A = this chain, B = another copy of it.
Amino acid sequence: VALIDLSRRGFLQKLGIVIGGAGVAGAAAACGSGESANDKLGSYKQEQDARLAAPATSAPAASAGMNHGGAVMQAQPGGHSVADMDRAHEAGVTYYLANAKEMTSRLLPFELDGDTKVFRVTARAMQWETRPGDVKQAYTYNGVLPGPEVRVTEGERVRFIVTNELPESTAVHWHGLYTPNKMDGVPYVTQPPIKPGESFTYEFVAKPSGTHMYHSHHNAMEQVGKGLLGAFIVQPKDKTKYPAFDKEYTLVLNDTLLSFTLNGKSFPATGILKAKLGQRVLVRYINEGLMNHPMHLHGMPMQIVAKDGYPLASPYLCDTQDIAPGDRYDALIECTEPGAWAFHCHTLSHAESPDGMFGLVTALLVE
């Protein structure tokens, strides 16, 4: 807890929020920057904005600080007061609501060589910001994390020219895909490793349909932990064999060398999911980490319709879906409830510290 606490405080300081001291001005500034987003986020934010604009006696942070701060100071983790804790919590949420962009999947572009879709993937070491001020040593495919999403249709022939610009060897495994054995990406079993400066070409027919992934299979605990991973979505040839949906999101979870990340970002830098009331949203969960993550959506259930890309004969409803390393689950959400709904890992140590939410936290905004 202490470590989380400290890095969280460092993060907040970078946002201009001073904890345990004269932080009100900073917090107010951060709040102010969120005004444009507040409109969209339900009635509480409007009430809160009104309250923030009202005389000091109705501002909860200030009044609580005056009433309770001294007595509480010693009782709190990290030695800061109720008002400080609340301000830290508020700063993260306010930053998120003001800045969160709609999640989108960057697609991996391709060229055609006859009927074959040709993709180019370059692995390289770089710095990656998981949230403002938190910059880590990462490995990426084509400079982004997760790597660009592959989108093809079942039965299409694909070719991947993988170039290694890392300071160590690598190889790519197409997790969930049926490839010829020599395209499977396991060094010394199915191919030599791709040395630094070298390239390797993978080619196969994309099947089966479903939510799959591609990632390193060499020194993989470290290389996948650092970011060598991406979604590989194979759309069904016959779309009637998969439930209908209005829009979709891919959520790649990771938890190791870059800390707890959702599509490469940690709250409050995570994006947001958006839907119109009545829309049916598909969420594709992909766990690329080393821990189970039980993802919990507030407000509405999820219907789990596929595991590892295979449609379930017997779909089931839930509000919390445990996702193990290597697992993929496809979840359909009927967006029947308007508002901004928290959406997070329910292993609470992956989602909240005494200084507020972090890590595997996002939201579904139903408008």
Contact = CB atoms under 8 A, between A and B. Distances in A.
Interface of A: 1, 41-45, 48, 51, 60, 63-64, 67-68, 71-72, 75-77, 82, 85-86, 89-90, 93-94, 97, 167-169, 173, 175-176, 178-182, 184, 186-193, 195-198, 208, 217-222, 224-225, 290-292, 294, 296, 298-301, 307-308, 310, 312-320, 322, 324-328, 337-342, 346-349, 351-354, 363
Nearest to A45: B189
Given A42-B182, A220-B352, A308-B301, A324 B189 contact: no
7 contacts: A63-B195, A72-B167, A176-B319, A181-B340, A290-B349, A291-B347, A310-B317
A320 B312 contact: no
A168 B318 contact: no
Contacts of A313: 314-316
B348 A224 contact: yes
Contacts of A349: 221, 290
A244 B196 CA distance: 47
Contacts of A320: 308, 324-328
B290 A181 contact: no
A82 to B, nearest CB: 5
Nearest to A353: B221
Contacts of A298: 173, 184, 186
A195 B349 CA distance: 23
B182 A339 contact: yes
Contact of A319 (B86, B175, B187, B296): B175
B316 A307 contact: yes
B82 A339 contact: no
Contacts of A195: 60, 63-64, 67-68, 82, 86
Nearest to A218: B89
A237 to B, nearest CB: 17
Given A188-B90, A298-B184, A314 B314 contact: yes
Given A191-B44, A314-B314, A348 B167 contact: no
A307 B314 CA distance: 13
